[in-house]
């Protein structure tokens, strides 16, 4: 899929759910072109969005309200992953199953708690583009700091934290680039920043699912580096053979 294909696809759906579809298509396209993430995003997020606006002469028309933000699907999916999907995950050993389940549970809970606090504060309602961008950058930094500190405190091995962090580095950078593009684009302009925040939550939802999917590959890449490690969960000690 090339840039012209992306343009054609967006033209086809523009006006239906422009903001969301544009965001998701950009996200998918950049994932497909992983090696070019840093260089391509600004051109895609700004120039191609401007292309659609100038060609159609339209603005994004979406009836997004505060209720859509507070009840966004990201919170329902996090609950589904936490209470249904992750407890059923099976990794290569019992030890790794327990440890990676714990890692993912902490990861998702921190995202849910910090996102909920941010949204419930309603501070985003009065922010300009620069303030909104800086607030989300600070939010992501805080989330990463919070979940890494808690993971360390419960005894998740450093090698797992490092491997997951290495695997997620490009994803985090992609997240930051996407959020910056949305915050600075007039394409997403709406009352009280509703469309921008809603679209950013869509991006974060995709990022969370991507991290969950990658965890199996990270687990399999750790060969014998966890041998004889122990982890205690609810009074039970698990040992990596």
Structure confidence by residue, pLDDT tens digits, 110-166: 999 999 999 999 999 999 999 999 999 999 999 999 999 999 999 999 999 999 999
The pLDDT tens digits of the residues spanning 215-234 come to 999 999 998 899 999 999 98
**Contact, 34 vs 169, CB < 8 A?**
no
pLDDT of residue 62: 57
**Contact, 206 vs 24, CB < 8 A?**
yes
- How remote is the C-alpha of 77 from its chain's centroid? 12
CA angle at 165 for the pair 160 and 168, rounded to the nearest 5° = 125
Dist. CA 62–CA 160, nearest whole Å: 42
pLDDT of residue 190: 83
pLDDT of residue 28: 54
Dist. CA 129–CA 186, nearest whole Å: 9
Token reading at 240: 């990596």
Dist. CA 203–CA 16, nearest whole Å: 19
The pLDDT tens digits of the residues spanning 59-109 come to 444 578 899 999 999 999 999 999 999 999 999 999 999 999 999 999 999
pTM of the shown model: 0.76
Dist. CA 68–CA 97, nearest whole Å: 35
Dist. CA 186–CA 53, nearest whole Å: 9
């Amino acid at each position: 899929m090339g840039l012209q294909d992306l343009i054609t696809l967006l033209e086809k759906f523009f006006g239906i759910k422009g903001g969301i579809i544009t965001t998701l298509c950009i996200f998918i396209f950049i994932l497909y072109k992983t090696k070019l993430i840093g260089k391509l995003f600004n051109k895609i997020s700004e120039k191609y969005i401007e292309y659609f606006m100038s060609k159609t002469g339209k603005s994004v028309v979406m009836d997004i309200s505060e209720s859509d933000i507070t009840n966004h699907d990201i919170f329902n999916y996090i609950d589904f992953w936490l209470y249904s999907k992750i407890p059923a995950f099976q990794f290569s050993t019992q030890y790794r199953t327990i440890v990676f389940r714990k890692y993912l549970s902490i990861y998702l809970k921190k995202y849910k708690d910090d996102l909920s606090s941010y949204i419930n504060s309603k501070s985003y309602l009065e922010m300009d583009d620069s303030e909104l961008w800086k607030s989300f950058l600070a939010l992501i930094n805080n989330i990463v700091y919070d979940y890494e500190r808690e993971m360390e405190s419960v005894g998740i091995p450093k090698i797992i934290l490092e491997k997951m962090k290495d695997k997620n580095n490009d994803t985090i950078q992609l997240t930051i680039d996407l959020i910056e593009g949305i915050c600075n684009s007039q394409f997403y302009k709406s009352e009280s920043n509703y469309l921008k925040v809603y679209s950013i939550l869509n991006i974060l939802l995709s990022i969370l699912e991507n991290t969950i999917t990658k965890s199996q590959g990270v687990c399999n890449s750790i060969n014998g580096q966890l041998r004889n490690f122990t982890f205690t969960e609810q009074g039970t000690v698990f040992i990596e053979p």
